[in-house]
A = this chain, B = another copy of it.
Amino acid sequence: MEKYVAPVEDMSFVLNNLLDIDNYLKSINNKELSFDSLKMVIEEAGKFACDELDTINQIGDQEGIKLENGVVRMPESFIKAYKKFVNTGWFSIIGEKKYGGQDLPLSAVVIINEIMHSTNMSFATNNMLTQGAVELLESHGNEKQKEFYLPNLISGKWSGTMNLTEPHAGSDLSSIKTKAIEKDKKFLIKGTKIYITHGDQDMSDNIIHLVLAKLPNAPEGVRGISLFLVPKYFLNDKGTKVKNDIKVISVEHKLGHNASPTCVLNFGENEGAIGELVGEPNQGLKAMFTMMNNARLNVGVQGLAISERAYQKALSFSKERIQGYSLNKNITGPVEIIKHPDVKRMLMEMKSQTEAMRGLAITTGNFIDKYKNFPNSPEGKECLFISNLLTPIVKAWCTDQSIYITSLGVQVHGGMGFIEDTGAAQYYRDCRILAIYEGTNGIQALDLLRRKLFQENGETYKKVLQIIKNTAELAIKSENNNLKEMGELLFKSLDIIEDCSVWLIDKYEENPEISAAGATPFLNMFGWVLGGWIMLDSANKAQLIILKDKNNKFAKEKINTASFFCNTYLPLASSLQNTIKKSFYALENFN
């Protein structure tokens, strides 16, 4: 049976060569961590995930979860794995040290999350949501809340969820109906929430629901939404553990992600579910966005993760399956299908896109790290703005492409890809939620257009383009013709994306609908250009390795993969220019 192997070499290359992580750790005066120690953690994560999570991924898909007497039952193997996950400390890679966290840089957390989601997305999603809850409480909880909840969430003893959506309120949260009424310094919550991921399960001892609700007489719309912490179990005045008034109404039968329970929860069917206010009244959406932003980057990482896993499976199959003859006359007899150029093309599409996504996601994590370390410096703020711009692109581009990549994974397997036993189809099914949850990709595109392009009066995106330009210029000066060629392709794309940004901003002021019609193609264009930037930056760094070690296999492969990426996808980016500018006029007439 084919096994997952964490792509440690590529991950290390990003940390060490793209980000120069040692230098960064030095700059924040972190003496405990180093590139070497982080690499060891990554290797350990890879082993754990391979042994404990990859092995039960298909079981989770086949068994799924059950709702029994109002309680969600996870597969037995998941309950066991969760215990091991907690005991080996993988939950606590995040979180402040005083609450038991290891507080690893987000760039490393992104890598470890990739590994966990690659091997078992349904399982790791629980962890992902808890990471979001920790971050939210760290930013918005009061001291008492932090002291009580954070240690349990960081250890993984308890887990966290996000409760936003209601039947009539999905992408638009302004119309939520869930109510919160103050009583005896607590709040009683009443309302129905749907699509609650890991909304119930029997792996953790408690579940901390973070719930959006409205206080009486709250202002209309999004400015009247507050955030509440509503635990599955709470301690009453006598210190006894009491089950809160939360009922699991149903679990959804889904296309995939089968071992990740998606629940409909009724809060307060009886006396009211007891909750605590988090942050200020009516400021809930802002607080929830802390969690959402974390989650959006992480959903992008899920897209990356499942792409990597699909690639590994397809690669392994293509080296074993013998079928057909080579077009190369020097090779006689039937060959492994990886020898066929069209199979190679599919694999290379998968590999090159996955590496681009990885570099981009880790780099985005690094920008967030830099902001968090220097939140008040101009450089720190610049990093925040850049990460704000990159996040919707990572979320939408990586997840859209994961659909394509897992589909290629099925295709490489031929007829076997369509048979569920093979496992390739699960990735194709599982990944399909990623473009939808935590804000659909259409919402991400609008966020990029309406907020991020206008951020700092348009200065942020100009800075990002300048960073990309620097990489292209460096490549053009290279003596390696391959790099030169890529640099020129990237330059050409930059001109086009610049032209499109200006056009979109202009038109937005004239009529926002014109720009909105081009928002998704623009996000895609930006994704390809950022991917090209990451791959060319990687190629530039690989070239430095080759100057010292001319036969370095990894570095040569990296340049080759970058070359495939730039030649295949940068022209694609350019072709979206027409789409962006012309879409509205046809759409206007379509009703």
Chain A residues packing against B (C-beta within 8 Å): 165, 168-172, 175, 194-195, 252-257, 322-328, 334, 338, 340-348, 351, 403, 407, 410-411, 414-415, 417-421, 425, 428-429, 432-433, 435-437, 440-442, 445-446, 489, 511-513, 516-517, 519-520, 556-557, 560-561, 563-564, 567-568, 571-572, 574-579, 582-587, 589-591
Contacts and interface: CB of A to CB of B under 8 A. Distances in A.
Contact of A323 (B172, B194, B342, B420): B172
A46 B310 CA distance: 40
Grouping DSSP codes into helix (H, G, I), strand (E, B) and loop, the A interface class, with mixed when no group exceeds half, is: helix
A552 to B, nearest CB: 14
A226 B351 CA distance: 41
Contacts of A328: 511-513
23 contacts: A172-B325, A255-B425, A255-B429, A256-B418, A326-B513, A327-B513, A328-B511, A341-B583, A342-B446, A342-B517, A342-B520, A344-B517, A345-B517, A348-B587, A348-B590, A410-B432, A411-B435, A411-B441, A411-B442, A414-B440, A418-B436, A489-B578, A564-B586
A513 B560 CA distance: 18
A341 B578 CA distance: 16
Nearest to A591: B338
Given A345-B517, A564-B587, A578-B567, A327 B512 contact: yes
B410 A334 contact: no
B561 A586 contact: yes
Contacts of A344: 517, 587, 590
Nearest to A573: B575
A44 B392 CA distance: 48
Nearest to A256: B418
Contact of A432 (B252, B428, B435, B511): B428
A571 B440 CA distance: 26
Contacts of A582: 563-564, 567-568
A220 to B, nearest CB: 12
Most chain B beta-carbon contacts within 10 A, residue among A519, A577, A587:
A587
Nearest to A195: B415
A515 to B, nearest CB: 8
Contact of A567 (B342, B432, B446, B579): B579
Most chain B beta-carbon contacts within 10 A, residue among A403, A432, A586:
A586
A170 B317 CA distance: 14
Given A255-B428, A338-B591, A341-B513, 20 more contacts: A169-B323, A170-B414, A171-B414, A175-B334, A254-B418, A327-B512, A327-B516, A328-B513, A341-B583, A411-B436, A415-B436, A417-B436, A418-B436, A564-B583, A567-B578, A571-B576, A571-B577, A571-B579, A572-B572, A572-B575
B583 A171 contact: no
Nearest to A441: B411
A101 to B, nearest CB: 32
Contacts of A435: 411
Contacts of A195: 415
Contacts of A411: 435-436, 440-442
B345 A520 contact: yes
B418 A255 contact: yes
A571 B567 contact: no
Nearest to A194: B415
Contact of A445 (B254, B342, B440, B441): B342
Most chain B beta-carbon contacts within 10 A, residue among A347, A411, A441, A561:
A411
Given A425-B432, A428-B255, A341 B516 contact: yes
A195 B437 CA distance: 35
Contacts of A341: 513, 516-517, 519, 583-584, 587
Given A348-B586, A520-B345, A420 B172 contact: no
Contacts of A590: 344, 347-348, 351, 557, 560-561, 564
A114 to B, nearest CB: 22
B586 A567 contact: yes
A561 B351 CA distance: 35
Nearest to A415: B195
Nearest to A324: B172
Nearest to A62: B253
Contacts of A563: 582, 585-586
Which 4 A-B residue pairings sit nearest by Cβ, starting from the closest? A564-B586, A575-B575, A571-B575, A567-B582
B583 A568 contact: yes
Nearest to A352: B586
Contact of A407 (B325, B334, B418, B432): B432
B171 A323 contact: yes
A253 B418 CA distance: 9
Nearest to A173: B324
